[in-house]
Amino acid sequence: MNYAFYAFIILVFFSIILLIEAGYFWWQSKHSGEAKRLENRIRMMSAGGHGNDQAMSILKQRELSGSPLLTRMLLLVPRIQLVDRWLVQSGLNWSIGKFVAYTLIPPVVVCIVGFLVYVPVLALVAAMLLVGMFAPFKVSRAKKKRLKAIEEQLPEAADMIGRSLRAGHSFSTALGMVGDEMPEPIGSEFRTTFDQINFGVSLNDALGGLASRIPISDLRYFVIAILIQRESGGNLAEILGNISQIIRSRLALLGKVKVLSSEGRLSAWVLGCLPFVVAFLISILNPDFLRVLYTDPTGIKLICGAFVMMVLGVMWMRKIIRIHI
């Protein structure tokens, strides 16, 4: 029985379905710039929002994708809102439907091309995994870059709120000033919090939603300090000034640590990627050389053992080079 032929037929069927869905996504994306901006702000305000359910219900009613059928399917997936929050934290204007399409369609296309133009099985599988991980890698990298930018902008935002409070403005007004005057990405986050307060959400719930959308320890300390000050009293402007100074000192120390550990991080990347790169090149230059490794039972056991040892080594190197401050 030719399993490759049946697998090819199944992959072609799913690729056609996904291509039709992708065309539908493209058709649904024809909106004005104002509508896209409004949709993005509603997505940011809804993801991670918690607290007053009556006040927040208008913000939670949104679709996970442009297709009603795909939305109903995604709602059956447990904890799908965590994926949606992950996409929101990245700052990309992606819905879950787009993320699923960008993750599944490229491997299917590579598989079809691999069957039409003969490519070694090992190289084909590696290429499918590589293009399949592109969308998650892009989201993860965008999230990391965005959170880093917010962390660097947070001291200036805290100082601006402190100066606004000294000038006699209320705290909610100071949040609005930060949202209007600070650049992206922190400006949009504080603007979202200010809009939530104007929509009737309590200040505690709005700040809790801000801390939930941005998983940064410094921002959580910022929110906790404000909530404690509202309960116990005190000079909030002075507290925010001290917080901004602590954040600046921590970021300076973190920069020094990254410089000192840069050689170790580069060595870890080289050691982790070198076996896969060498195997990929050998499978292209001389396919018969590695064929016995994945056709012989002993070779498969060696691959599994080597993979387990590599995973343990990568985890150990990651633990060594990640220094928390």
pLDDT band at 155 (very low <50, low <70, confident <90, very high): very high
- Output the pLDDT for position 142: 92
Q: Within a 10 A sphere around the Cβ of 241, how many other Cβ atoms?
A: 18
Q: What is the pTM of this model?
A: 0.65
pLDDT band at 34 (very low <50, low <70, confident <90, very high): low
Mean pLDDT of all residues in 226-241: 87
* Model confidence at 72: pLDDT above 70: yes
- Output the pLDDT for position 3: 60
- Output the pLDDT for position 4: 67
Highest mean pLDDT among 51-60, 142-151, 230-239, 248-257: 142-151
Start and end residues for every CATH 1.20.81.30 domain found in the chain: 144-260
Mean pLDDT estimate for the chain: 80
- Output the pLDDT for position 10: 72
- Output the pLDDT for position 325: 63
- Output the pLDDT for position 42: 54
Among candidates 104, 100, 112, 89, which has minimal Cα distance to 43? 89
- Output the pLDDT for position 49: 43
Structure token digits, residue 43: 């997505």
What is d(CA 200, CA 70) in angstroms, rounded to the nearest whole number?
Answer: 32
* Model confidence at 219: pLDDT above 50: yes
**CA distances (Å), 277 to each of 149, 166, 236, in order?**
32, 58, 54
* pLDDT above 70: percentage of residues in the chain: 83
Mean pLDDT of all residues in 11-40: 66
pLDDT digits (tens, 9 = 90+) for 285-316: 887 887 777 788 888 888 888 888 888 888 88
* Model confidence at 26: pLDDT above 70: no
Query: Is the CATH number 3.90.230.10 carried by domain 144-260?
Result: no
pLDDT digits (tens, 9 = 90+) for 174-185: 989 998 888 888
Least confident of 19-28, 218-227, 234-243, 247-256: 19-28
